[in-house]
């Protein structure tokens, strides 16, 4: 999902940067608010950031004969809600753009929008919509769909920038052909890894997770103080 440096026309690069910026600014505020309201969840925040950091560094082979990497953005989206991931994902993408020549500064906005905005929101939406399903299924769906949605968004961005003779739809299916099918097995793997990691978090940080409202059925129950969650 990393659009290479310089591979979006200036206008597109500027537009995606403008679109992504408010999400990142809001996300940075959301992080400081989360730390203020739930100081005990700082460790979990570190876990969510570290998780994306690891997963987005690992490129896995896929059935199509090409390889790609997971994003790990679904976990933090489920625990802390998507805005926080906009900020954490930006840190990861900046690291990769500056040190690994992966992605780039001109394409940072577009890459942030796909991996750190669209992915987390789609994952979070899946998690909430499946409110009545078993918890592992909800986590699996959130992680897998956050991963997949990121790559669909990248294909969309590239098709908008390079429609070619076949127009947007033709270019879109060409870019989807590169990204999406490769990504399906990787999304499944990411979903399974997410279920495992969440099992560990649940048994070791249960009170923190309930305080953050992860287990409540309705999102508006989120954000109760940790004392209430512990003494409930």
Partner 1 sequence: MRKHASTLAILLAIVALFAVAMVLGTRQSTGDGETFIGTDSAATTHIEENHPGYTPWFQTIFEPSSGEVESGLFALQAALGAGALGFVLGTMRERRRQRRSAADDSSRPVSDPEPACDAAEPQSRG
Binding to partner 1 (CB under 8 A) within 117-146 occurs at none
Binders of partner 1 among residues 74 to 103 (CB under 8 A) are 95-102
Least distance CB 1 / partner 1 (angstroms): 7
Least distance CB 206 / partner 1 (angstroms): 8
DSSP-based three-state secondary structure for 61: strand
Choice between 93 and 126, CB closer to partner 1: 93
Segment interacting with partner 1, rule: CB under 8 A, options 15-23, 52-60, 79-87, 142-150: 52-60
Q: Which residue has the tokens 């699996």?
A: 140
Among 14, 18, 25, 58, binds partner 1 (CB under 8 A): 58
User: Contact 56/71 with Cβ under 8 angstroms?
Assistant: yes
Residues 6+ apart with CB under 8 A from 132: none
Binders of partner 1 among residues 22 to 41 (CB under 8 A) are 40
End-to-end CA distance of the chain: 43
219 makes contact with partner 1 (CB under 8 A): no
Choice between 117 and 197, CB closer to partner 1: 197
Lookup: tokens for 102: 């992966």
Listed as own residue / partner, the contacts of 101-105 with beta carbons closer than 8 Å and 24 or more positions apart are 101/5, 102/2, 103/2, 103/3, 103/4, 103/5, 104/2, 104/3, 104/4, 104/5, 104/6, 104/7, 105/5
110 makes contact with partner 1 (CB under 8 A): no
224 makes contact with partner 1 (CB under 8 A): no
Least distance CB 149 / partner 1 (angstroms): 15
Least distance CB 219 / partner 1 (angstroms): 24
Among 93, 126, 193, 212, binds partner 1 (CB under 8 A): 193
Residues 6+ apart with CB under 8 A from 50: none
Least distance CB 214 / partner 1 (angstroms): 14
- Beta bridge partners of residue 61, listed in sequence order: 67
């Amino acid at each position: 999902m990393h659009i290479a440096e310089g591979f979006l026309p200036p206008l597109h690069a500027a537009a995606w940067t403008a679109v992504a910026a408010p999400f990142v600014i809001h996300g940075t505020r959301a992080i400081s608010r989360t730390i203020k309201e739930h100081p005990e969840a700082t460790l979990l925040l570190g876990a969510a950031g570290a998780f994306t950091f690891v997963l987005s560094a690992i490129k896995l082979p896929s059935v199509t004969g090409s390889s790609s990497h997971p994003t790990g953005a679904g976990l933090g989206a489920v625990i802390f809600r998507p805005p926080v991931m906009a900020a954490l994902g930006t840190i990861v993408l900046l690291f990769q753009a500056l040190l690994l020549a992966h992605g780039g500064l001109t394409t940072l906005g577009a890459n942030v929008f796909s991996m750190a905005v669209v992915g987390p929101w789609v994952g979070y939406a899946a998690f909430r919509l499946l409110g009545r399903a078993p918890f592992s299924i909800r986590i699996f769906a959130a992680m897998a769909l956050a991963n997949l949605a990121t790559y669909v968004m990248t294909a969309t961005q590239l098709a908008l920038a390079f429609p070619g003779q076949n127009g947007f739809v033709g270019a879109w299916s060409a870019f989807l052909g590169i990204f999406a099918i490769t990504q399906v097995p990787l999304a499944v793997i990411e979903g399974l890894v997410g279920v495992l990691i969440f099992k560990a978090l649940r048994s070791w940080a249960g009170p923190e997770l309930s305080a953050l409202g992860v287990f409540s059925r309705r999102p508006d129950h989120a954000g109760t103080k940790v004392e209430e969650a512990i003494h409930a």
